[in-house]
Amino acid sequence: MAAVNRKARHDYFIEDTLECGIALTGTEVKSVRKGALNLKDGYAMAKNGELLLVGVHISPYEQGNIFNHDPFRTRKLLVHKREINKLYGLQQAQGYSLIPLSAYFKDGKVKIELALAKGKKLYDKRHDLAEKDASREIDRRMKDYKA
């Protein structure tokens, strides 16, 4: 894994996931290999028949000098046209968001795992934290009971 967006599962209900490629320059790929990638504030949007990744920060490569790139530039995601149309329809009609969950290498190429997600309300987040604490407490008690 090159990067994981841990906050996404806390802030959103994940409905579906999609693996897609990403168009990067040479120095960006080297930065991703080093793990200098931040997905936290990123999202994807369909525009003019293309899927674009916005708000993802890829740090400039240290040895890149004049070949470096803008860290926050909009990057094109590589997805089939029918998938773009489907995602665009869901995004417009039902209020879904496209959130990057993780970035990883597959056969030497950088892949982004996108999630079709709906935002959580504050009470949903509290409920999830309460469930997590309860299960942790149960595990702790079971461990004490076995010992």
Alpha-carbon gap, residue 120 to 47, rounded angstroms:
25
Q: What pLDDT does 142 receive?
A: 86
118 Cβ contact list (under 8 Å, min separation 6): 12, 13, 15, 95, 96, 97
d(CA 86, CA 82): 6
**Residue 146 in this model has a pLDDT that exceeds 80:** no
| Mean pLDDT across 63-67 | 74
**pTM, entire model:** 0.76
What does DSSP assign to residue 75? E
d(CA 128, CA 121): 11
The mean pLDDT of 35-42, rounded to a whole number, is 88
82-113, pLDDT tens digit by residue?
A: 988 888 888 777 878 899 999 999 998 999 99
Catalogue all structural domains in the chain, each as residue range(s) with its CATH number.
3-119 (2.40.280.10)
